[in-house]
Structure 1
Amino acid sequence: MSKMFPRVLAPLHPLLTKMRSLPAVSKRTYVSEPGNKIRSKLRNPRLFREQAYINGRWTDGRATSRFSVVNPYNGKVIGNCPEMDVSDTTTAIEKAQHAFESFRHSSARQRMGIIRDWFQLMQEHEDDLAIILSHENGRPIEAAKAEIKYAASFFEWFQGEAVRSYGQTVQGSSPENRVMTIKQPIGVVGVLTPWNFPSAMITRKAGAAIAAGCTTVLKPAADTPYSALALAELGEQAGIPPGVFNIVTTEQNVAAVGKQLCEHPTVKKISFTGSTNVGKLLMQQCGDSLKKMSMELGGNAPFVIFDDADMNKAWDGLLAAKFRGAGQTCVCANRVYIQESIADKFIEDFHKLVGAKMVAGDPSATGTSLGPLINLKAREKVERLVKDAREKGAVVVAGGHRSQDEPQTFFPATILDRMSHDMQASREELFGPVVAFYRFKDETELLRMANDSEVGLASYVYTEQLTQAWRAAELLQTGMVGINTGMISDPVAPFGGIKQSGFGREGGSVGIEEFQNVKTITLGGVQL
């Protein structure tokens, strides 16, 4: 336990003493040669961990094998982690439940103090966390630092939300009754996160859950486990009690581990970010136990540019909304709808801007702004969608094919014009650095095309007319709309979609409520 924060942790001493009396999990340390190369680059080498984290212990669990994690830029192994299974997941769930019996009674201010210290530690170790993220995710180092700031901001937000969780008093129908509501932590939470935001997707979920008084079992993506494990190391330093934050690592047993989290009766909530198809499967698996769920699923974001838009704002916004993470985000601009009268000029100037701003290269180099895709499969998907668009009449303005001299996971910044809705890219997420322009005549045609999608996560509107902006924002069928901005993710704002983009909201004042039950208490027999 850290000695840094005695004032915050002192009230939790009986809780921590009780938890630390639990049987110890193996603390054998596994150090790999590739992992040592990463550690040599870190100011704090302890942040690069190659074991799972259960009940406050670093462990291989019952794993008999390990899986390798590679740098998407050069394909080199950076380390490996234990291949855990259902039995390890069950152990993590049981430890989380044991911890919950005590942690649920911790005060809101105690939880606030722990999350605050976690936030401060993330700030102090920002450079190390960015190096780890960049190596496993392929994000350029400056963008990786930006994600660490973004990820830490959720801890900053939810430390405050821990003490801003309110109930109500209600006027009862009977004059003798007094009615009130309180909010209680839901219990053990299963957290399943993707590779594209390996830090922020964890802090956005676990920060809210722990602020509410829940305990968590996290399964990070097999491509990016090290950002999660680094957060566990910092969480331990911040004073998170054993069993409150647990991590199970797996590559081959992903489906079985996810199924166990969904079907185990002790787990009361699942928070998932990923594809719509996987989300549907998890819903089926949660059906028998009727778990509460938060599902942030696929997107197909329309980015609308009306003819009166400020072109400078629209160019900058499109760059931000399209090329963040090499286009591998669920809120990326997937379909860019531009009014016909300005299309030629806008696309010509945007082409020049992309050429100047999008510098592909080694993610560790400061000047790189466009990194690789996460793996070869991702690149092949982008190639398939671009090929289909070309065959159906799309015009390639820039890019369109990979140079043989580039790493296998690279795809160039690409601009496609004259897109149509019979192309596969209009239905599937591009999830790559491809800007696809669709032309429209008027608002009626625009709304028909933009809303022709089974998913509805984010959308963007550029116009200088207030009434047009508001009308489009209300009529676009998405859970979030950015007006004259390409950056809509903010810890203070609820994040989530509609239709097959899922349900539930993360962040904002409602984010903590996803991890709480509302209990009604009625006091009868009050005589005045």
Structure 2
Amino acid sequence: MTVADREALVVERVSKGLLIGGQWRDAKAGGTFKVEDPSTGSVLCEVADAGVDDAFDALDAAAAAQSSWQRTAPRERGEVLRRGYELLMERQDDLALLMTLEMGKPLPEAKGEIAYAAEFFRWFSEEAVRIEGGFSIAPNGQARFLIMRQAVGPCMLITPWNFPMAMGTRKIGPAIAAGCTMVLKPAQQTPLSALALADILREAGLPEGVLSVLPTTDPGGVTEPLLRDGRIRKVSFTGSTPVGRKLLEQSAGQVLRTSMELGGNAPFLVFDDADLDAAVEGAMQAKMRNIGEACTAANRLYVQSGIAPEFARRLSERMGALKLGRGTEEGVQVGPLIDAKALAKVQSLVDDAVGRGAKIAVGGGPGDGDGYFYRPTVLTDVPQEAELTSTEIFGPVAPIVTFDDEQEAIADANDTEFGLVSYVFTQDLGRAFRVSEALETGMVGLNQGIVSNPAAPFGGVKHSGLGREGGRVGIDEFLETKYVGIGGV
């Protein structure tokens, strides 16, 4: 089988319809939309384009299934997730190829995402049987307190294109474990991973109606009516801050539970006592994971003045050596950006920085070929007023800003409306604690460039979001607490 034949077969195997009430079907209006390969600009396939009537059918299915699903034994819910984990790992190669075709990341990185995504199912399969309540005696001894934890109810899950499998499992996993039904709206650019995941869950034994999947080119038209309906009780969203604000407004009318994982503007602080090799390696991880198209990506690299030239030299050498190309090709380390709009945005931010005095150490322009490629770029002498210090770059561009002392670094790092993650490299234990406590972010990578882990709580503060995903607290987002006061005892 040729490479092209295998790619075509992987795409062909995926259901292209809407999953509603356990059945694959066409959109009621009959519409479809094209899914593009960002490395070539060619069309991979067409999938059904959901409309508002389809959305209400999905909500009807979720509402009808909620009562029986939440009464399902926790062990049974956990076993569905466990089987889902095993199937994801068994099909890692094909699922990774599918992801690379629809969003561009290099194949080894896509395989890593499938493993990461699967871990959310394994983690929450174990949490399903650990949902705890409580019992206590009232302080005056005249009553008893019974505390119950119950499923919040039908959920609207909205996932982004940059981690199309992992963001699905990170939301679906705790919802299944808690006993919630779901309507999932994947990103328009990457519906195939979500559709493949839905098929795996059906095979794993998820009952009909518990999960519906609605690919659509009209996300607002599909989601807003559901949020205002009253039967959806929670919305979980990963995406941009502007869209998150709009969803919060739409959720307010029905006072919905919300989880918002929004934009980032991660500072990456390197102090002069840092292990420079470790700092450069951490910068490569924090900047270049997923081609820089990650909310956790290092967006502003603050380096203490005395070591900034050497740090920039080493980072530029590493960035310049990365192989750019189609993610399915051998040895490729940097794939294309998601679309033409993303490519234009990255170039505009680089042009703005250079126009304000920044210097291009390496890269600085689009790559060759028909796809949406941008060369890995390092900018030095970046002024604080450059637009990319306040805007999420979402591309392979590393801007280096210098600082003189600890307080200046903290002030610059916190000078943003965002607060998702920050990174700190230092070998001074006291400084590590001081800076980690002072940074206004929900997560800190201390001497490491990757913070994401299914067993740890993921989320931000300020305009980077509400709530946490993963870890022991991840399932809490899908549970309500009920108190029963017992008298006459």
* Same fold, judged at TM 0.5 (above): yes
Q: Specify the alignment match of 2:358 in structure 1.
A: 394
The answer (yes or no) to whether the contact 1:129–1:148 under 8 Å persists in 2 is yes
Unaligned runs of at least 5 residues, structure 2: none
Shift in Å at residue 511 of structure 1? 0.3
Is 1:66 the equivalent of 2:35? no
Give the fraction of aligned pairs with identical amino acids, expressed as a percent. Answer: 43
* Letter of the 2:9 counterpart: S
Q: Distance in 2 between matches of 1:244 and 1:445?
A: 51
1:511 maps to 2:477: no
**Can you list the C-alpha shifts for 1:466-494, whole angstroms capped at 9, x where unaligned?**
11011111100000000000010000100
Q: Which amino acid aligns with 1:500?
A: H
- Where does 1:71-470 land on structure 2 (aligned, <5 Å)? 71-251=37-217, 253-356=218-321, 358-403=322-367, 405-470=368-433
User: How big is each residue's C-alpha offset from its partner over 1:160-179, in whole Å with a ceiling of 9 and x where there is no partner?
Assistant: 01011111223313312110
Give TM-score scaled by structure 1 length: 0.90
Q: RMSD across aligned C-alpha pairs, in angstroms? A: 1.3
- Map Cα deviations across residues 24-51 of structure 1 (whole Å, 9 max, x no partner): xxxxxxxxxxx98744257xx63x1211
Q: Determine if contact 2:27/2:49 at 8 Å carries over to the other structure.
A: no
Q: Within 2, Cα distance between the matches of 1:409 and 1:390?
A: 21
Partner of 2:462: 499
Q: Could you tell me how far apart the structure 2 residues matched to 1:459 and 1:65 are?
A: 43
User: Where does 1:452-491 land on structure 2 (aligned, <5 Å)?
Assistant: 452-491=415-454
Match for residue 26 of structure 1? none
Contact residue 320 and residue 377 of structure 2 kept, 8 A: no
Report the number of matched residues.
486
Letter in 2 for 1:165: I
Question: What amino acid maps onto 1:181 in structure 2?
Answer: I
Which amino acid in 2 is paired with 1:296? Answer: E
1:40 is aligned to: 9
Deviation of 1:463 after TM superposition, in Å, equals 0.4
Q: Is the 8 A contact 1:187 1:214 kept in 2?
A: yes
User: Is the contact made by 1:130 and 1:144 (CA closer than 8 Å) also made in structure 2?
Assistant: yes
Please give the secondary structure, in 1, of the residue aligned with 2:162: coil
Structure-2 change in CA distance of 1:294 and 1:41 (3 Å): closer
Q: Distance in 1 between matches of 2:439 and 2:83?
A: 40
Matched letter for residue 476 of structure 2: E
List, as ranges, runs of 4+ consecutive aligned residues in structure 1 with deviation greater than 6 Å: none
> C-alpha distance in 1, partners of 2:440/2:334?
30
Structure 2 length-normalised TM: 0.98
The structural deviation recorded for 1:350 is 1.6
CA–CA distance in structure 2, aligned partners of residues 101 and 61 of structure 1 = 27
Query: SS in structure 1 opposite 2:129?
Result: coil
For each residue in 1:327-352, what CA deviation from the matched residue of structure 2 results, as whole angstroms up to 9, or x when unmatched? 00000000000000001111112211
Q: Which amino acid aligns with 2:487?
A: G
Deviations 1:57-112 (A, max 9, x none): 11113032210000000011111111111111011011011111100100110101
Deviation at 1:201, TM superposition (A): 0.3
Helix, strand or coil for the counterpart of 2:89? helix
